[in-house]
Amino acid sequence: MANCGKGPGYKSPLAAMEGPREKILYVVCIQPDSFRSGKTDYLATVDVDPDSSTYCKVISKLHMTHVGDELHHTGWNACSSCHYDPTKSRDRLILPGLNSDRIYVVDVGTDPKDPELFKVIEPMEVHTKGRTCAPHTVHCLASGEVMISCMGDPEGNAKGSFILLHGEEFFVKGTWQQEENCAEFGYDYWYQPRHNVMISSAWGAPNAFKKGFHLEDVARGDYGTCLTVWDWKERKQIQKIDLGTEGMMPLEIRFLHNPDASEGFVGCALSGNVFRFFKNEDELWNVEKVIHVPSKTVENWLLPSMPGLITDILLSLDDRFLYFSNWTHGDIRQYDITCTENPKLVGQIFLGGSISKNEKVVVTDDQELKEQPLRPRIKGKPVRGGPQMLQLSLDGKRLYVTSSLFSAWDKQFHPDIVKNGSMILQIDVDTEKGGLTLNPDFLVDFGEEPDGPVLAHEMRYPGGDCSSDIWI
């Protein structure tokens, strides 16, 4: 999407907030038993224009070429980091397969409502040129290249690495960092060039998380607790910040959108904490815990203590609100971060999860709630699963949510979405005082798809969004 005759995206985060309302969503859809069924994952294009006759409908599907990919997170060939370059266009969506290590490049420019496959990067190229596996987060760079974080070596052992793709021909050029400078673990990352820094987070070893969640893998050290700070220009590690037991599984990491800012937030799934990271006067980086979600004592669940499992976080483009999802507890929270050191809870909504009233799990001790929340219904249907991936409209007034995390974990924690398909819901956001309300007129039910139920995961808009665009 061009702006004022320049390159893709917008000149600033605040300019992006004035962009047009989203009309379609690109959503990756995973087949929960792909090898058994022979069905492939696909990219769904969903109509989210309330004035359209196909509102809340899947209007096209682009099936991948192989079974078992486990499409997960996606990213662009160009974003607002290339806004100064009129030769660039945001017309390719990059779809890594977390299980297969295959990377799909999709043409969304020719016909945004009916994307086509442009190129497939086979796993061997990732393994040999990148010496890595489990590609995850995709960001475009101002250089025109595409960078993808990866989480393992070709054998599936833990290894935090980054591969570079050619920005037009889309082949693996090699790694961003030197081979000897890889991190112990990998997952998400965000860069902030004005401070010459990139910070990456840590999920776990692919050989561990691909088989589902098991406490013995945590005890064995197969999951991460550290943030890695990188020198952006030199492409090397300069600091390792261990969050300890309060920072188990640091997942989504977000700098403030203001490119001058030297701080941000990371959600730690297993510990139920959000940390603020920031640069000190001595140029070193530090962290402080600013939000804590207490675990609940429960019966009839996988463990006697249930963490919230913070699995996704977002920041509004004006850096005023932080949002995150508790996948097991079932709530989405909105915090006012006008004072980043002291976030204030201003909105909360429960959308299912594992503690819904009159269901299997019984909560025997809860530091936050007086009673278990009821599972909401929408258009006559109970909301399935728990809130997971989030996407916020540019103006910050609509929050979209899906319920699938990773198929092996879905089967353990929310088997109902594996059997009956996941959903996309829309939350109306009060951007003045704070507050979250379920939109009763919006529902995309992936249990009703003709090819059978699928697991909807990450969502993107054609014009970019608050979790993909970086300003330099």
Show pLDDT as tens, one digit a residue, over the chain (472 residues): 334 448 899 999 999 999 999 999 999 999 998 888 899 999 999 999 999 999 999 999 999 999 999 999 999 999 999 998 999 999 999 999 999 999 999 999 999 999 999 999 999 999 999 999 999 999 999 999 999 999 999 999 999 999 999 999 999 999 999 999 999 999 999 999 999 999 999 999 999 999 999 999 999 999 999 999 999 999 999 999 999 999 999 999 999 999 999 999 999 999 999 999 999 999 999 999 999 999 999 999 999 999 999 999 999 999 999 999 999 999 999 999 999 999 999 999 999 999 999 999 999 999 999 999 999 999 999 999 999 999 999 999 999 999 999 999 999 999 999 999 999 999 999 999 999 999 999 999 999 988 889 999 999 999 899 999 999 9
pLDDT of residue 197: 98
Q: Which residues, in sequence order, are bridge partners of residue 315?
A: 322
Q: Is 371 helix (H, G, I), strand (E, B) or coil?
A: coil
**Do the bridges between strand 273-279 and strand 285-292 make them parallel or antiparallel, or are there none, so unpaired?**
antiparallel
Listed in sequence order, the residues at least 6 apart from 23 whose beta carbon sits closer than 8 Å to its beta carbon are: 47, 48, 49, 52
| Residue 293 contacts residue 309 (beta carbons within 8 Å) | no
Q: Is 151 left (phi over 0), alpha (psi -120 to 50) or beta?
A: alpha
| Residue 228 contacts residue 242 (beta carbons within 8 Å) | no
pLDDT of residue 36: 84
Tell me the pTM: 0.97
Backbone Cα Rg of the chain:
20
Two tokens, residue 456: 């909807």
Kind and range of the H or E run holding 425? strand 423-429
CA-CA distance, 153 to 155, in Å (whole number)?
A: 5
The number of angstroms, rounded, from the C-alpha of 192 to the middle of its chain's C-alpha atoms is 19
CA-CA distance, 188 to 453, in Å (whole number)?
A: 28
CA-CA distance, 277 to 271, in Å (whole number)?
A: 17
pLDDT of residue 2: 38
pLDDT of residue 37: 87
pLDDT of residue 3: 41
| Residue 394 contacts residue 19 (beta carbons within 8 Å) | yes
CA-CA distance, 202 to 319, in Å (whole number)?
A: 24
Q: Residue 418: what are its φ and ψ, rounded to 5°?
A: -70, -40
CA-CA distance, 282 to 239, in Å (whole number)?
A: 13
The 3-state DSSP composition of the chain as helix, strand, coil percent (nearest 5) reads: 10, 40, 50
